[in-house]
Amino acid sequence: MTRIKFSPSDRDPFTDFRINMEIICNLEEGGKLTPEEAFSKIKKLYKKFKTFFKENRDEFIEQD
């Protein structure tokens, strides 16, 4: 799996998070990942997203 980066792009980071979650879930459902591996990857993904969001919170608030 490729490295996950939450950085400024054409898509918003919520969409990137959702897409990556879907990929991990589909890999687990397809038997490519064990449930433990999927949980670990989701946990890492969430931590990265949470850190990114905290660092860029002001930008999201200004957009509303």
pLDDT of residue 4: 59
Burial 19-45 (b: 16+ CB within 10 A, else e): ebbeebeeebeeeebeeeebeebeeeb
**Tens-place pLDDT, residues 31-56:** 999 999 999 999 999 999 999 888 88
Domain boundaries, the chain: 13-58
pLDDT of residue 52: 86
